[in-house]
Structure 1
Amino acid sequence: MVKTAERSQASIGSYSADDVIFLLKDISDAMEESSTEDREEAIQSGVHYSEMLPIEYNPSSEYIKLFYSSLEQYKEKLAIAVGVVAERIIEDKGENIVLVSLARAGTPIGILIKRYIEYKFKINVPHYSVSIIRGRGIDENAMKYIFNNHLDKTIQFIDGWTGKGAIKKELDQAVALLNEKYSQTIPSCMAVLADPGNCASIYGTRDDFLIPSACLNSTVSGLVSRTVLSEKYIGTDDFHGAKYYKELEEKDVSNFFIETICSQFPHTENEVSRQFKEMKFSEPSWKGIEDIKQIQQDFGIENINLIKPGVGETTRVLLRRVPWKILVKDMKNEDLTHILLLAKERNVPVEVYKNMSYTCCGLIKPLKEKTV
């Protein structure tokens, strides 16, 4: 058994504990958010993004309507992607598994996959949500907790979608270190609904389409903030931290999102089986990163971290960062409706750029001539 300090599971988030256990420290009363501009300046000056939290975007009524309309539009496609991923996980790993979603974008997807496995295979698999931070790795204390409580189970990591593949690379490195340090043999395989970056081996689709949970930040992710790792708030034996946005409870649609997709399972089961049988799963080619390098060259961007490809990541740029411009492959693509709306709201220029596999790409404004 891996030695670790005793701690209780974090009571945080608006999801039922039957759906997910967050292995996160609640720092709601300890940490203040930073403005987008102050945070962007700090990040580009060398402060790690995990040491700050952005102010949660308060969506306009028009944007909230867009969430509901896009959910209605894509609920069947999402349910099918969830089913395909769940089928592949069971085929690859068997039924003796524990799902570990990567907070926070992976959390609602992990819940959906857990629900589908229960619906289709009649088994209730454990599901945890843990923090992984680019440049800092996965939460070691959270992983020790899972090791100790599920010694006999195979771990399956889950995220929402891929962009450049930075989190997949982070996961590969972190799992290699964990395996060496604790004599484990856990796989670093990551399952996602959409893999436009072509860097995951388990995926529902490699299309770059809108996953509505990318739209609303905490109000569709259990009212939990993005995760924090700062010595000010997190001790050596603590899980990584997060805030619970109690003041947003009236706007919370986290469980509504889950129930809407789950209601499609009986109607999409046959299509899931068909697509799963016909799907030719291929190992990652990492094609997406080649597109990003070309964009980097074409637009003279020194820091590749200022390029955020894919619908999900572009949404996040518009909600949480200081955008410079948005690149779109085809202005008429219906997946771009919310992107164009947000860009208009924030007065961000949109430019057609056809030479990429992604539907769109967000470019963050360099605040200095040389970025860190």
Structure 2
Amino acid sequence: MHKMVKKHIKIGTYKEEDVLFLLKDLSDTKLEDSTINRERKIQSGTHYSESLPIEYQPPQEYVELFWKMVMEYKQKVALCIGVVAEQIYQLKGKQAVLVSLARAGTPVGILIKRYIKLRYEVSLPHYSVSIIRDRGIDENALNYIMSEHSEGKIQFVDGWTGKGAISLELTKACKEFEDKYGRKLDDTLAVIADPGYCTTFFGTREDFLIPSACLNSTVSGLVSRTVLNEKYIGKNDFHGAKFYRELISADVSNEYIDVITAEFASIFTKADEISTKRRNEEIDTGFYGMMNVESIQADFGINNTHYIKPGVGETTRVLLRRVPWKILLRDASSPFVQHILMLAREKGVEIVEYPNLQYLCCGLIKSVKEIDK
């Protein structure tokens, strides 16, 4: 019999009625390393999930730009959430169990839960669990959810797609889970934006700025990225994360959720129309972003596609927590890349015009050889 792990924990600043985290609290463990050291280790074979980057705290002008983008695009974000939420509810109804992939998925899962509660007066369970590229999903967390909701239909949720690495990781993890435990899971990933053509459950396929991609933990309940390091995580533990209490004065997580939630009532009808229409369409999931990535790899002589991060969300992450080499832009005048230009200027990163991008932009990570020159 599978040994059951302990219950969810209270971690971070979100309310428990919004999300339950199935994570081990590693707040008192020293896991951070400088960006350069971490990059060296990752590129020489240490897995990225074994340590954490030092959380970059942006200047005031960047936070102001974040709020400007939130206010400008709150209705667009709300509509994309609504379209995805309608698709989930039409397909799985009251049996849906929302499972966000920590951490970018967490605010999205909360918003989907809030939308369904407002629209259908149904409060769906919502958990946040860890999935890690090349290491799979937290099976202890999935087993816990299944023991709590034996009739539930799990719906995985994330923020956006880039190349589709996490979509592929999820499909593989669900297959392994079924082989091991005999439980079939739906591996469809619900996202706000799917510019990589990786899923059938999306709000839009436009590569646009999802404001929660702009910041790190301060828009994700002050929870760190997830950690899987066997020094701290036993075989019956959930994957780990830290609660950055020291950043509480900069936390905008709940405020962001409330701003988007306030828009839902005005987009109910439109969200319903779009999702109903989409249900009757053949939706192509050709992972076209990957072809784009391969041509970038050839053009710039990059030896590993892990160093290529396409799309607004992924490019932002490269600037916030990796060592960027170049930023490729299809259109520097797009409102969705202004924060990227600001970060690139601040960090002295070269911007390259690259018109034949399927995405609005793409972040290239510096190879260690370049760093150490």
TM-score by length of 1: 0.97
Secondary structure in structure 1 of the residue aligned to 2:61? helix
* CA–CA distance in structure 2, aligned partners of residues 82 and 71 of structure 1: 14
Alignment of 1:66-215 (within 5 A): 66-215=65-214
* CA–CA distance in structure 2, aligned partners of residues 109 and 31 of structure 1: 28
Match of 1:246 in 2: 245
* CA–CA distance in structure 2, aligned partners of residues 6 and 217 of structure 1: 28
Residue-by-residue CA offset, 1:33-79 (whole Å, 9 max, x unaligned): 10000000110011000001000011100100011000001100000
CA displacement at 1:238 relative to structure 2: 0.6
Contact persistence 1:99–1:128 (CA under 8 A): yes
CA displacement at 1:278 relative to structure 2: 4.0
Contact persistence 2:97–2:126 (CA under 8 A): yes
Secondary structure in structure 1 of the residue aligned to 2:45? coil
* CA–CA distance in structure 2, aligned partners of residues 276 and 335 of structure 1: 24
Amino acid at match of 1:299: F
Secondary structure in structure 2 of the residue aligned to 1:94? helix
Alignment of 1:34-73 (within 5 A): 34-73=33-72
Contact persistence 1:99–1:158 (CA under 8 A): yes
CA displacement at 1:220 relative to structure 2: 0.2
Distance of aligned partners of 1:281 and 1:346 in 2 relative to their CA distance in 1, 3 Å threshold: farther
Match of 2:290 in 1: 289
* CA–CA distance in structure 2, aligned partners of residues 9 and 300 of structure 1: 45
Residue-by-residue CA offset, 1:315-371 (whole Å, 9 max, x unaligned): 0000000000000011111111000000000000111111121010000011128xx
Match of 1:236 in 2: 235
TM-score by length of 2: 0.97
Bigger Cα displacement from structure 2, 84-93 vs 52-61: 84-93
* CA–CA distance in structure 2, aligned partners of residues 18 and 73 of structure 1: 28
Residue-by-residue CA offset, 1:89-112 (whole Å, 9 max, x unaligned): 112223211000000000000000
* CA–CA distance in structure 2, aligned partners of residues 118 and 281 of structure 1: 29
Q: Does 1:255 align with 2:254?
A: yes
Give structure 2 stretches of 5+ with no counterpart.
none
Amino acid at match of 2:144: Y
Secondary structure in structure 2 of the residue aligned to 1:363? strand
CA displacement at 1:228 relative to structure 2: 0.2
Amino acid at match of 2:207: D
Match of 1:313 in 2: 314
Secondary structure in structure 2 of the residue aligned to 1:200? coil
Match of 1:347 in 2: 348
Give structure 1 stretches of 5+ with no counterpart.
none
Match of 1:335 in 2: 336
Amino acid at match of 1:365: K
CA displacement at 1:281 relative to structure 2: 5.8
* CA–CA distance in structure 2, aligned partners of residues 235 and 144 of structure 1: 16
CA displacement at 1:301 relative to structure 2: 0.3
Match of 1:221 in 2: 220
* CA–CA distance in structure 2, aligned partners of residues 354 and 93 of structure 1: 41
Percent of residue pairs bearing the same amino acid type = 55
Contact persistence 1:306–1:363 (CA under 8 A): yes
Secondary structure in structure 2 of the residue aligned to 1:119? helix
Distance of aligned partners of 1:81 and 1:188 in 2 relative to their CA distance in 1, 3 Å threshold: same
Match of 1:359 in 2: 360
Contact persistence 1:12–1:224 (CA under 8 A): yes
Contact persistence 1:4–1:145 (CA under 8 A): no
* CA–CA distance in structure 1, aligned partners of residues 276 and 331 of structure 2: 31
* CA–CA distance in structure 2, aligned partners of residues 199 and 39 of structure 1: 29
* CA–CA distance in structure 1, aligned partners of residues 104 and 254 of structure 2: 14
Q: CA RMSD in A?
A: 1.4
CA displacement at 1:122 relative to structure 2: 1.0
Amino acid at match of 2:17: D
Match of 2:27 in 1: 28
